[in-house]
Structure 1
């Protein structure tokens, strides 16, 4: 159930901008993080911690209720359940298991009853973010009860020796600049922020000098919103499954596929940049100082734009896109499977978790399958080149660097679009039609690599491999 707007202003504005009303409300909510951050800086920063918790809880809940009505109480309940689990089971392995199973089950049941064949903007959006936050708290509290020598360097920094209070739980989860679209951040970071650890240099209760850094991310966010809207004039989800796209020449199709991929990603990037700017303005994003003593405000950075816009291999997309979620999965899924003794199995399990976390649509599973096989192919290619002296010299030639850079950038540009087709189109009939429109190029290139191309290359190159001295 959602809150009705009798005036119809939002409906008229959403029609004018060509977006749905829920999407417009979500965007307005992200922008609202800025005036709330200014109010917090002026009136509440450095004050009693419980007062700050109540400010975040109240404002975050109001924004959630405005977007999703009484459905926001799903989030209220699951936070309470998780708190009670930690209260009763303390920092035990069982508390982690119960928190994990309960929240993931609640998420999947929610998907079952509320998902459609389109990209849904409903209470499941903030809850899927909340699931990771709650599971992370349970893991960190568990780590806080383990011998410190058994913890990784990351776990040592995030471990919680003391159970968070119920106000800390709700304040962390309802933090208004990050509740609805992220980014993820740890309870430890939230506690340091509220206690004044990120305050202005030389003080304990004055807001930090981070307004300029926040405005830079805000400006980038607005820029990406504009570029996203411009790209929508040329490509759309419906266009990718249209006969018009399928009958255009192959070069146009590949370039339009890449353009569509960028447009799809810019939808997320613009929201993340705007949300991050709000977090910076609050002062949450402090990340130490660089070698020149300049404060860094990239502590909750979710998109590394320089890396993202200059990718030459898919691993760089993973390093630069949805950074906090990828880091969360690495910390709480991938590394926890180290006992399996095989990084490919651990990686596959982490990607399967991500697919399940997104929902039941087959497109999610196909998308993350392609991520796995593409990364596998790129590692295999590097291994083959590195093990062959002639190929190594050829690809390290100075004259080849510029054309190689161009080719690799085009490769990542086009095939990121290919990889996103199932993720965005969701249902098999739609993304398979789009695959056909793109001549099944990704299947031919990536799926066939370990079956056909790699064995042939290794056979013909085996006599040229560098022999040990």
Structure 2
């Protein structure tokens, strides 16, 4: 650690009345902006300079600012172990082995720092290790996909597959990319490689006065706005935390209010929890935008898009009316990693993901986050919440659409409002243990609000596991005899495109488009079978009437 820098930061932290580690994190986030601006201006024809610059800045952050020498060793063991496995192990089980070993290594790191090294929760290497595990496991799958025939891969897998192992310097620069080193966002190696060799940018090199200009489009204004957005969220979090905090709901004063107040208090409390993440992720994303990595092509009007590594959409999250939107717009790159490298990978070939895939994904997410019981309470409850959300979209929402499912019905706006309130209260209840962490305090808080989340979730699970579901399906078929699941999927896709602008259909990675087409084809086959069955019954009925 640089002694003078540490002394200056400690003095500033003491004056502000805060711990020094959050201040150090903010300093590295802000320092990444001028450093990214400098890195972007290194000669395009000498990428080795960018690699060495990137690694040097990461070393400065880890060693000079945070004094995490032992942590650097941990990151090197994890990253180089995955690289060696990808290089020397040709088995199709290689990515599974990398995933399991990386997760176990991460869990051991969580345990080691929580129990022995850092029981007070100060800044340690576990945050950077979590980001690294996303990168190394994705890298292992990308290498494995590169060894498979293209016909066996989805569109996203083909795009991210690595047909040749990259040089070790490129790989280290990828895993130690300083703008996303400590808190993310994560991304795949193929995206990083296209940024490094400039193939990501769809415009030729320009010249000014006979001298070549960089190919990376200007992003200073967009990055500055993103940084300002992050500062605003952090300021709001600092201002509101004294009023809305976990200590407030666990204190005796909270029980002086009635249960309705206690339930609805969790809503703004949950918003304040999120402000910290909104701020940190926005600042990290802004640095990635300034480096050029956030570039995501151009829109229909020719304007550059900078949402490649976007990690959060606060407006869409706070106005989300279903669990799908909430999960999609929160920690987006981690969710993409879980979806692409857990959810879809644990699903057997030729089958659709189900509840077991969902539960495995949520458990993997909890395991990835750490050892605290609160993580597991939140993610297991979240799995049930997502399943109940599917029930709502499949069996309740269609009653508020037009009979042919092609548009909203007259009462759709009321359904949307009730859904918004329900899902926001549901997520506010579900995530409390994630912040509280301890099992006893988490259960104590849930008891203070009468376990309303679990009561609703388990009631829905029971109802839709009985004959009620078949009754509802019959009512839906009778209400819309010509409609099929395809109509609803088309409607959902169109509405999603209208809301999200240029986001992928349904707001999910491209790999899901292939699954969507397969699902549509399967639904069409089922529909044809149903039609043939109805026709056969009609012919039998007519023959009976004629014979009578």
TM-score (norm 1): 0.90
CA distance in 2, matches of 1:22, 1:198: 35
Is 1:267 equivalent to 2:293 in the alignment? no
Q: Cα gap change, 1:234/1:192 in structure 2, threshold over 3 Å: closer, same or farther?
A: same
Deviation of 1:261 (Å): 0.8
How many residue pairs get aligned? The number is: 465
Q: How does 1:308-387 map to 2 (within 5 A)?
A: 308-339=317-348, 341=351, 342-385=353-396
Deviation of 1:457 (Å): 6.0
Match of 2:37 in 1: 38
Deviation of 1:403 (Å): 4.2
The Cα offsets for residues 397-438 of structure 1, whole Å up to 9 and x where unpaired, read as 43x455444433332333222111111111111111111222
Match of 2:249 in 1: 240
Q: Cα gap change, 1:132/1:146 in structure 2, threshold over 3 Å: closer, same or farther?
A: same
CA distance in 1, matches of 2:171, 2:29: 21
- Secondary structure of the equivalent of 1:336? coil
Aligned partners of 1:133 and 1:184 also within 8 Å: yes
- Secondary structure of the equivalent of 1:177? helix
Match of 2:78 in 1: 78
Match of 1:64 in 2: 62
Aligned partners of 2:267 and 2:424 also within 8 Å: yes
State the structure with bigger RCO (CA 8 A, min sep 6), 1 or 2: 1
Is 1:293 equivalent to 2:297 in the alignment? no
Q: Cα gap change, 1:83/1:450 in structure 2, threshold over 3 Å: closer, same or farther?
A: closer
CA distance in 1, matches of 2:468, 2:449: 26
Aligned partners of 1:200 and 1:209 also within 8 Å: no
Match of 1:52 in 2: 50
Match of 1:414 in 2: 425
Is 1:428 equivalent to 2:427 in the alignment? no
Deviation of 1:387 (Å): 6.7
Aligned partners of 1:133 and 1:185 also within 8 Å: yes
Q: Cα gap change, 1:463/1:357 in structure 2, threshold over 3 Å: closer, same or farther?
A: closer
Deviation of 1:3 (Å): 7.0
- Secondary structure of the equivalent of 2:178? coil
Q: How does 1:101-250 map to 2 (within 5 A)?
A: 101-115=100-114, 121-199=123-201, 201-203=203-205, 206=214, 207-250=216-259
The worse-fitting range, judged by mean Cα deviation, of 402-411 and 147-156 is: 402-411
Aligned partners of 1:137 and 1:186 also within 8 Å: yes
Q: Cα gap change, 1:390/1:305 in structure 2, threshold over 3 Å: closer, same or farther?
A: closer
Larger radius of gyration: 2
* Unpaired segments ≥5 residues, structure 1: none
CA distance in 2, matches of 1:74, 1:141: 23
Aligned partners of 1:198 and 1:208 also within 8 Å: no
Is 1:282 equivalent to 2:291 in the alignment? yes
Aligned partners of 2:85 and 2:94 also within 8 Å: yes
CA distance in 2, matches of 1:137, 1:450: 37
The worse-fitting range, judged by mean Cα deviation, of 264-273 and 45-54 is: 45-54
The Cα offsets for residues 91-116 of structure 1, whole Å up to 9 and x where unpaired, read as 54243244223312211111121126
Aligned partners of 1:389 and 1:464 also within 8 Å: no
Q: How does 1:16-27 map to 2 (within 5 A)?
A: 16-17=15-16, 19-27=18-26
- CA RMSD of the aligned region, Å? 2.8
CA distance in 1, matches of 2:217, 2:325: 32
Q: Cα gap change, 1:391/1:458 in structure 2, threshold over 3 Å: closer, same or farther?
A: farther
Aligned partners of 2:296 and 2:305 also within 8 Å: yes
The worse-fitting range, judged by mean Cα deviation, of 174-183 and 401-410 is: 401-410
- Secondary structure of the equivalent of 2:328? helix
TM-score (norm 2): 0.78
